[in-house]
Amino acid sequence: MRTIELTYPHTLVLEELPKTVAAIGFFDGIHRGHQKVIQTAVTKAKESNMESAVITFHPHPSVILKKEKVHVQYITPIREKQEILQQMDVDRLYIITFSKELASLSPQEFIDHFIIGLNIQHLVAGFDFTYGHKGEGNMNMIQSHSRNAFDHTTIDKIELDDEKVSSTKIRSLLSEGNVAKVNEYLGRNLSVYGTVIDGDKRGREIGFPTANFKINPDFLLPKIGIYAVKVIYKGEEYEGMANLGLNPTFKDGETKPTLEVNIFDYSNDLYGEELQIEWCTYIREEKKFDGVNDLIEAIKNDEKEVRKYFSS
């Protein structure tokens, strides 16, 4: 997959671009609804002997348009988005830098520059996709903006348990710690990448050595708590339990959560290595214990529950 980063105005030459079927959207999470849009584009491209593309945006519009400075966290930051799209057999990825200039384009100007101007022959989008200044353009009026230069397909909403699959819903579930339901919406396990860093080695002292992770701050993590996780390292998959929390038993006033993972049946040195963590299910909330012995007893119970989860 070829990744092309674009700003407004872009300088690509129409005659030099391949005829393309493109899916367009922000696609945070690339959940089941997004996958339907993207897979439709990939399939149509193959049927038409054209290239497939995904057109997406970065950063989130709120980063640019809000008066106060905001740091938006993503279900799938750019790197993860690229990896998933690569696996979906997308030929090219256009990442459009969201800016105030871009936001000021009229719907027709947006279509002329970023759809017709990229030699898109067929555009696929979700029913709720909007474009142009203040989202004034939508899929009901896109034909009038197409100048008969491309066709389009609108994908209806995808539901799970009679509820629309959406990034907003996934964000809400993450805030509740309900990663099991998140995984149903995603059609895969929620995952993050992290680099193993030096920790206080307290886990080793109490008999549960942990790998301490430095996580990209752009990741939207679930709520604080104990989780059953899988760890992927050099193509191998390991089971484990994660503590995403503030370590209240040992620390007071901590405000920034840390991620520690006890990888079952693994003892090699991982310092400096990058691992992928897949979130499987929520076990319990993080608690402050009266002493180390109570903490050890709770962790033993956690391990039993996590191993039972993976064996069931």
Tens of pLDDT, residues 76-107: 999 999 999 999 999 999 999 999 999 999 99
Is the predicted pLDDT of residue 188 greater than 70, yes or no? yes
pTM: 0.94
Taking CA 122 as the corner, what is the angle to CA 121 and CA 128, rounded to the nearest 5 degrees? 140
Mean pLDDT in residue range 120-126: 98
For residues 189 and 137, state if they share a domain.
no
Helix (H, G, I), strand (E, B) or coil at 235: coil
Residue at which a domain ends, from 157, 181, 213: 157
CATH number of residue 222's parent domain: 2.40.30.30
Q: What is the pLDDT of residues 261-272, one digit of tens each?
A: 999 999 888 999
| Same-domain pairing of 28 and 78 | yes
Domain boundary among 101, 135, 157: 157
Q: What is the pLDDT of residues 36-48, one digit of tens each?
A: 999 999 999 999 9
C-alpha span between 43 and 133 (Å, rounded) = 31
Distances (CA, A) of 299 to 143, 144, 153, 205, 289: 59, 61, 51, 13, 11
How many other C-beta atoms can be found within 10 angstroms of the C-beta atom of residue 38? 26
Last-in-domain residue among 127, 157, 187 = 157
For residues 261 and 133, state if they share a domain.
no
User: What's the N-to-C CA distance of the chain in angstroms?
Assistant: 38
- Give me the mean pLDDT over the 171-198 stretch: 97
The count of structural domains within the chain is: 2
Whether 41 and 145 share a structural domain: yes
Whole-number Cα distances in Å, 225 to 134, 178, 228: 39, 11, 10
> The domain that contains 14 carries what CATH number?
3.40.50.620
Q: Are residues 150 and 292 in the same domain?
A: no
Q: Which domain does 136 fall in, by range?
A: 2-157
Task: Report the mean per-residue pLDDT for the chain.
Answer: 94
Integer-rounded Cα Rg, in Å, for the chain is 22
